[in-house]
A and B are shown apart, each in its own frame.
Chain A
């Protein structure tokens, strides 16, 4: 919990130990939050806001969560709709499995399978692509988001609001349920649009003041 005299929301980022976590933390500071890194189930359980970042492979990501005994607590948070933000690989880890790592079981809290982009498009998909919110999207608005992915969730399962992007074919740009937001793109790298999205998630859908 944040001390009472600190008005900034405290955002707990699961420390995966790889890649651009420093960049992710800076993104939350720009949104007016106080990022902290955590890697144990008790902290993940008690966190006001939990962020599951992720770059790297599906298998490595799951191995990291298992080693730290985080599988059950993240599953519960998502099931209960508690404030949880999954980014890029983080979204994929919520699913049952991925074409990237056959035989590896995901968090399986989203009943779906992650698939690779078809062979005839550039992959990884690096760059800015347009995002179209669905009728039930509460957090995601129309705009451009920054992607760095070779795999994607083709469509959200029932019960999840889907925003959509097209790269060769449509896929789930982001899915939402309760206070859970999972983005295939990187909100922390998606300019003002991305910062405004993170602020709406932090403020539970309230309109964010401009960054």
Chain B
């Protein structure tokens, strides 16, 4: 039986792991290679590296970080952040990524998803979809540029379109919940899950195992978490043991 995945996420800037709330107030929380190895050892099912560098120099460092992590990591590695064109994705794949996440560039030009899928196969293409609840309105809209830009684009319609365009998986982040510890946005998750067939990774808001179980019940195939692991609140192993107790199928 296909198990539910637990995916630690490393936000990397200039070769170091950082973490903030809603992408603001970044603080240094460690060395990426060390953390990646530790998470694999603990039973992480995959690893995501998000390059949050703001400069071209920082972006160049990201490829080095990916290569260094890859030499030691024997689980799948998804890398996102700053992918604007096919060549950016190819650079990350050449450094050792297995999948590449695309966010803002896909919203601005959905054709990039098709170009990437044609070039690498849809299983290499992860759409990072950041969604926020509409102010005083029903539903969710897509936000880009680290939340600075509200696009007005309906999140559900965008997920459908991205799947058709070639996204093999969707990393769904609730902008309202990211870094808050209040749990995933379950309504958003259920709405997207019923609209598409490709797997969904839920992200943004988990502070405990019950939040993760709720996300799986709402239709997530995998959950992404950062703070909960970086802050040493729990190990991946502990999380999986507790999920198993709650009836969730996990790899142990």
Contacts and interface: CB of A to CB of B under 8 A. Distances in A.
A63 interface: no
B94 A22 contact: yes
Contacts of A30: 71-72, 74
Contact of B98 (A18, A23, A56, A144): A23
B121 A127 contact: no
A112 interface: no
Contacts of B76: 146, 148, 186, 189
A113 to B, nearest CB: 20
B141 to A, nearest CB: 26
A123 B123 contact: no
Interface in B154-203: 168-169, 197-199
B221 A188 contact: no
Contacts, number: 110
Interface in A138-160: 144, 146-150
Given A26-B70, A26-B71, A191-B74, A18 B123 contact: no
A122 B71 contact: no
Contact of B221 (A55, A126, A144): A126
Interface string B49-77: 00000000000000000010011101111
A128 B74 contact: no
A124 B2 contact: no
B37 to A, nearest CB: 12
A129 interface: yes
A23 B97 contact: yes
Contact of A127 (B45, B67, B71, B124): B45
A118 to B, nearest CB: 12
A19 B1 contact: no
Contacts of A57: 121
Contacts of B94: 22
- Chain A: interface residue count, which band? 35 or more
Nearest to A189: B76
Contacts of B132: none
A55 B199 contact: no
Contact of A22 (B45, B93, B251): B93
Nearest to B71: A26
A33 to B, nearest CB: 14
Contacts of A19: 93, 120-121, 124
A130 interface: yes
Nearest to B168: A124
Contacts of A167: 2
A38 to B, nearest CB: 18
B199 A124 contact: yes
Contacts of B204: none
12 contacts: A18-B119, A18-B120, A19-B93, A29-B71, A55-B123, A55-B124, A126-B168, A127-B2, A127-B3, A127-B199, A127-B221, A148-B76
- Minimum-distance CB pairs A-B, first 4: A148-B123, A56-B121, A128-B251, A55-B121
Interface of B: 1-5, 40, 45, 67, 70-72, 74-77, 93-99, 119-124, 168-169, 197-199, 221-222, 251
